Structures are given as structure tokens and as C-alpha cells.
Amino acid sequence: MGMQDKIFRVMVPMEEEIEHKDGKKKTVMRKVFPGYVLVEMVMTDDSWYVVRNTPGVTGFVGSAGAGSKPTPLLPDEVQTILKQMGVEEVRTVVDFAIGESVKVIEGLFENFVGQIEDVDSNRGKLKVLVDMFGRDTPVELDFGQVEKL
């Protein structure tokens, strides 16, 4: 629509997540703010008209009324969103639960079977009780080192 000099970037905030299901890793993309689109633009009457009249656009964050202009995001808010989109870290989603039985598939305790005692999704670690010499021994393992039984 000839607005390249006023509308620079249009993006759907997405982030990369690692899902652990049945002992397998899978990377998936998830929307950070479902239903929202970020637009980097110079706010003029023309650029505002183009965005406002884009098919599928129903409203704007910070708009008081139908004719009012939206409130721009602050630079630190934009940085937070960009960081959340995977610039620095990848979130991990797991389906491990305390009390579940797992088999260690790699590392020093390979082929041991144990029961999950604790799940630390922030660090990507599990505390698993494995039977060593007739006693339950807690072992810290990465999500990728075990599979569900």
C-alpha cells in the first residue's frame, strides 16, 4: 500500500518452547500474546488509517474510543517482548509429574528405573529416586536424560 516509509515492522510475538512428552523433545512455536499483533510505525493520519482499516483488526490496546489513537509501548516493554520471543532463552514445557516412574536413557545411571520426587522446570531438572544397593537414592537428571515408563 506504499507505506514502507511509515510502517516498518509487523509481527506476531512468538516464542520457542521445548516440550518433553514421552521422553522425546519437540520444539514448538507459541504465541506470546494470542490475538495481538505489534506494529512498528511512524504515527501519521495515513499510516493510522491503513492499520485501522486492515481486515481483521478489531481494536487497539490503549484506545479509549473508536477514533482515538493507540498508546505506544515503552522501549523497555518492547525489549521484554523481544527477549520473550527467544532472543535470549527458550522456555521448557514438561509433562513430568511427581510420583511418575521413569527410565534413565543416558548418563551415569543409564537403564536405571526410578520415581520422580521433584520437577524443576526452570532449570530443566528432575530429582529421581533410583534403587541403588537396595536403597532409594536421589539423583538429579536433565529432562532429556529420562523417558516415561
How confident is the model over 40-52, as pLDDT tens digits? 888 888 888 888 8
For residue 43, give the nearest of 12, 3, 74, 13 by alpha carbon: 3
* Burial class for 60, CB neighbours closer than 10 Å (0-12, 13-18, 19+): middle
pLDDT at 12: 84
Q: Which CATH class is domain 97-148?
A: mainly beta
Has residue 35 got a pLDDT over 90? Answer: no
pLDDT tens digit sequence for 41-81:
888 888 888 888 888 877 777 655 555 677 788 877 877 88
pLDDT category of residue 90 using cuts at 50, 70 and 90? very low
Q: Where in the chain are the domains? A: 7-93, 97-148
Global model pTM greater than 0.85 = no
